């Protein structure tokens, strides 16, 4: 029987279908959307400030917050030293994949930026699949650990995210030299980029710059 695949992109606390949140960096890993100021119900649900005491580095606040919402002691221990090793990341990813596979789904193409595909039966509800995958993400620590593993490896000094992606795109010759942060934000919203030549190679370079703008995995 044929199976369907949906793409998932990492957000700061969980996954949503076809959202690339890394380009829209905020101060915590609390999610890609923010509550309107006039919505008290949403405001009440906003995460409380978390002390960064004991955490170090450019992502200290994120390590502190993710530790505060970690699902178990093992995940808290991984985050406690403001560093995630390759072995720790592999352990969490294995747990995440195993949790998802219990539903008959498969995680595919888990990339350097935390993006991945989900392979599932054609008669399955996408909403149900997404909810189950999100639950596996939070319950195994994938949301808390692998988001930070991606960030600290792809942008360890926490440079301006838009700037490094734009520089990569310009250096790769796939957008004009005058390409600006405003252009990038608009293109991220509408999903259309002014690729020079609009070739398959240019589209691959666009994906590479989004996933790994500083080339750390290449």
Q: What is the pLDDT of residues 37-48, one digit of tens each?
A: 333 343 445 567
Contact 65, 83 (CB under 8 A): no
Nearest in space to 143 (alpha carbons), one of 97, 96, 100, 106: 96
List beta partners, residue 116.
8
Tell me the Cα Rg of the chain.
18
Report phi then psi at 146, rounded to 5: -75, -25
Rounded CA gap, 65 and 87, in Å?
A: 22
Find the mean pLDDT for residues 159-184. Answer: 94
Q: What is the pLDDT, as a whole number, of residue 3? A: 64
Distances (CA, A) of 203 to 165, 195, 199, 206, 208: 14, 7, 6, 5, 9
Q: What is the pLDDT, as a whole number, of residue 49? A: 82
pLDDT tens per residue, range 61-86: 999 999 999 999 999 999 999 999 99
Distances (CA, A) of 162 to 29, 109, 211: 17, 24, 12
Question: For the chain, what are the domain ranges?
Answer: 4-33+47-154, 161-211
Contact 111, 209 (CB under 8 A): no
């Amino acid at each position: 029987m044929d199976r369907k695949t949906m793409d998932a992109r990492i957000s700061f606390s969980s996954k949503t279908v076809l959202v690339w949140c890394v380009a829209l960096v905020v101060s915590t890993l609390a999610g890609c959307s923010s509550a309107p100021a006039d919505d008290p119900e949403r405001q009440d649900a906003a995460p409380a400030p978390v002390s960064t005491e004991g955490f170090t580095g450019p992502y200290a606040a994120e390590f502190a917050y993710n530790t505060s919402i970690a699902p178990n002691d093992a995940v808290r221990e991984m985050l406690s030293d403001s560093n995630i090793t390759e072995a720790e990341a592999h352990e969490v990813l294995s747990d995440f994949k195993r949790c998802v596979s219990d539903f008959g789904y498969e995680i595919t193409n888990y990339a350097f930026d935390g993006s991945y595909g989900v392979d599932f039966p054609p008669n399955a509800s996408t909403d149900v699949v997404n909810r189950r995958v999100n639950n596996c993400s939070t319950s195994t620590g994938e949301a808390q650990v692998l988001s930070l593993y991606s960030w600290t490896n792809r942008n360890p000094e926490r440079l301006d995210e838009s700037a490094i992606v734009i520089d990569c795109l310009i250096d790769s010759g796939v957008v004009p030299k005058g390409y600006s942060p405003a252009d990038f934000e608009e293109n991220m919203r509408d999903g259309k980029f002014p690729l020079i030549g609009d070739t398959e190679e240019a589209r691959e370079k666009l994906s590479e710059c989004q996933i790994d703008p500083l080339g750390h995995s290449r």
